[in-house]
Chains A and B, each alone.
Chain A
Amino acid sequence: MTQLIIISIYLALLLGLGFFSSKLFRGTSKDYMLASHSIGPFMLLMSLFGTTMTAFALVGSTGESFKEGAGVYGLLASSSGIIHSLCFFVLGVKLWSLGKKHGYTTQIQFFRDRLESDRIGILLFPILVGLIIPYLLIGVMASGTVINSITEGAFTTAFAQYDYGVPPWLASLVICLVVLIYVFFGGMRGTAIANTAQTIVFMILGLITFVIVSDKLGGLEESTNKVLAKNPSKMIRSVDPQDTDSYEDGYKKWIVLAQYEYAKKHKGLALDPADEKAAIAAFPIAGPAGYLKKTRGPAIFAKKAGLLSNLSILDQNLALLIQDNRYEIPNDKGVLDNRISDSSVMAHHEIMSFPRLPGADREGLTIFAQFVGHPTEKAASGKGTKWTRKKAKGVFRATHWAPDPPHGMDPWKFLTYFFVPLSVGMFPHLFQHWLTAKSAASFKLAVVAHPIFIMIVWVPCVLLGVWMTSATDPISGAPIIAAHFPPNAVLPAAVKALTGPLMAGLLTAGILAAIMSSLDSQFLCVGTMFTTDIVSHYAGKNRFTDKQLITIARVFIVLIVALTYLFSLFEPRRVFTLGVWCFSGFSSLFPLILASLYWKRLTKLGAYAAILAAAGSWIYMFADANYAANANYTVFGVMPVATMITLTTIAMIVVSLITPPPSKETLEKFFPAEK
């Protein structure tokens, strides 16, 4: 309950900040959308940084390094330090100058002018809004997951199916409403003030929590030594032979378990009760609730006694797929999936090419029903407390599914990740933030400090994710985070397990600060784009009063947030994977913004070709990757964004060169002779 109280106080303070900033609001749409170009260096740094660091940076980086190891920092953080500042320097300052000179508020206004095309706005508007939605989704989803994990057990009887914590759907809804309220009251100025405050909050609380957590784990060196001993591949970007041996051993044992469970269920195998009892007693590791003893012991006995030797190749393959919850035998046995071989035992990577059945881990709730209850209630055995539903599902996954094969980072994939941070050049909400700057010199602090700020946030998160692969409970010796744990929940679970309720509550406020400091800018931006690029543009600038325009912006924001919220109720994806797809879409349009500022020969039709190539390739690859469900999707062995950018660039250059150049007036306007 302490955590819930702290979160509630923090959200109330944020609303108070919104009311305070509304007092500074000058009542014009320009002030609402651009804070009247009044933001100085410090607030510009904090709002740009707060906007780019979202759930992706905290929840996503911790979860991803838990899965992939320490190399995650190099994948996106250090490259972002170079590329983000490059974008601020090369694009931001120049766009600010043009925006101030010609009165732009949105990217589409700039593109319409530069490309001498009114209809380019109609093409770009749905693409930009469409790409913002998954970005919003990351924050909305993550806030629900974090609040639910941290508040487990806060209620005595309510929300049992959510482990007596705040349900994710309710938590996400509250976060959306709080952000909507302070954005509505304060506009861009309120957003910049809130971003600055929240960025300070999440950086300070993040560092304090890191110190406390590392101390609880036995110190910096001790935490790392555990990883070196148990999961050395998480320290490097290749595979350590120790992990390969451990995986091969674990996979062989898992095959025996899979065959035994299959033979029991589908071939009528039943051990003699005395043999079964002896086999269970002989297995050395009890596991949670003695489950390992009960399942692995009899499986080994059956294997040694030759009771599994009569399984056909097809049966063996079906056993693996079913045990890993990737396949169910249809009622009509004659129509088995034709990818299931009946002539050779399928390799693990072939098994993994079948996606896991959604919600398969719910079986854990049935198997461990007697252990599940209120997380503060004493367990029937007298040892510890009752399990949460999440734990029951987690134990099921860890004991039922095949071990993950260790895998390194492909150097080409690592190299092409460099294209992902280019997305910053095309983020509409960042464009809007750039235009709030008081002067070109205001950008200097953001350009210089941004890489260091990224380091301050990402290094502790990545270290924590790596440590959690091997951290054990000091009392029970059990892993704090089990195998196959949902990556989005690693950070809140670690904080909850290793800190007291007060710190857990404070850090959650910090995580929410990071999430909300991105959501607010995005909310404001979609509203601004709609009123500026669609409503004012087509209805005429004087058709609506400033007050009416602000109301229209608010209505559109509510519609987009409602749509995003609905999406968040469906099956969750890995925050990191979804983020990379969203950023890839924006990155694929990077050649367009760069060329429009630095290449005189860019033409209207060249721009159309670039946008269509970017949108077409993104949609095709996103669908091919099963809508982000395939987290390891590549094209020609490299990140899909590399192919998208290549196609966009080729289309833009070729079509521009074969179509008439822009008019002399446009060239003089955007490429004036240097003084």
Chain B
Amino acid sequence: MNKRCGKCIIIGLVCLLIVLHHDIWNWDNKDPVFGFMPVALAWHAGISIGASLVWYLATRIAWPTFDDDEPTSSMTSEDA
């Protein structure tokens, strides 16, 4: 998979997370998940886990390439 395609997938998944984050369908739901966790909390904890998975995927398929071996400059251009 090329990097451009990877970036498109990550952008799509982040947009999906943002849509899922606005869970208007859970607004009035007071049935606790696992018997104790408010839905408003459980759903968004799930969003946190989802975000972590998406960012893991991003590091695999959309990570930018840098030349880590470039020499470190000690001067800004204006100093020069």
Contact = CB atoms under 8 A, between A and B. Distances in A.
A binds B: yes
Interface of A: 30, 37, 69-71, 73-74, 77-79, 81-82, 85-86, 89, 93-94, 97, 100-104, 109, 112-113, 118, 220-221, 223-224, 228, 232, 234-238, 240, 408-409, 411, 414-415, 418, 439-441, 444, 447-452, 454-455, 459, 462-463, 466, 541, 669, 675
25 contacts: A71-B40, A78-B21, A78-B47, A81-B51, A82-B51, A102-B73, A103-B73, A112-B76, A113-B78, A228-B32, A234-B38, A235-B38, A236-B40, A237-B28, A415-B22, A440-B63, A440-B66, A444-B63, A447-B58, A448-B55, A451-B51, A454-B48, A463-B37, A466-B38, A541-B79
Given A104-B76, A440-B64, A238 B38 contact: no
B50 to A, nearest CB: 8
A235 B73 contact: no
A463 B41 contact: yes
A82 B38 contact: no
Contact of B55 (A236, A447, A541): A447
A89 B70 contact: no
A237 B40 contact: yes
Interface in B35-80: 35-41, 43-45, 47-49, 51-52, 55-56, 58-59, 63-66, 68, 70, 72-79
Nearest to B23: A74
Contacts of A113: 76-78
Given A70-B38, A113-B76, A94 B51 contact: no
A447 to B, nearest CB: 5
A12 to B, nearest CB: 35
Nearest to A94: B64
Contact of A237 (B27, B36, B72): B27
A273 B43 CA distance: 58
B59 A447 contact: yes
B45 A455 contact: yes
A85 B64 CA distance: 15
A447 B72 CA distance: 24
| B26, B34, B47, B76: most-surrounded residue (chain A CB, <10 A) | B76
B2 interface: no
Given A101-B72, A232-B30, A452-B49, 19 more contacts: A69-B40, A70-B40, A73-B45, A78-B51, A81-B51, A82-B51, A89-B55, A104-B76, A109-B76, A113-B77, A221-B35, A236-B27, A236-B28, A236-B39, A237-B40, A238-B28, A411-B22, A444-B63, A455-B48
A450 B77 CA distance: 34
Contacts of B70: 100-101
Nearest to A74: B44
A82 B17 contact: yes
Contacts of B28: 236-238
A111 to B, nearest CB: 11
A11 B48 CA distance: 33
Contacts, number: 156
Given A102-B76, A113-B77, A414-B22, A459 B41 contact: yes
B7 to A, nearest CB: 11
Contact of A78 (B44, B65, B73, B76): B44
A549 to B, nearest CB: 14
A221 B47 CA distance: 23
Contacts of B17: 82
B52 A411 contact: no
Given A112-B78, A448-B55, A224 B21 contact: no
A235 B32 contact: yes
A93 B64 contact: yes
Nearest to B63: A444
Contacts of B32: 221, 224, 228, 235
B22 to A, nearest CB: 6
A439 B68 contact: yes
B76 A451 contact: no
Interface centre among B47, B52, B59, B72 (most CB of A within 10 A): B52
Query: Which A-B residue pairs are the 10 nearest by beta carbons?
Result: A70-B38, A220-B36, A78-B44, A455-B48, A451-B51, A103-B73, A78-B47, A70-B40, A81-B51, A74-B44
Contacts of A86: 14
B36 A70 contact: no
A587 B51 CA distance: 21
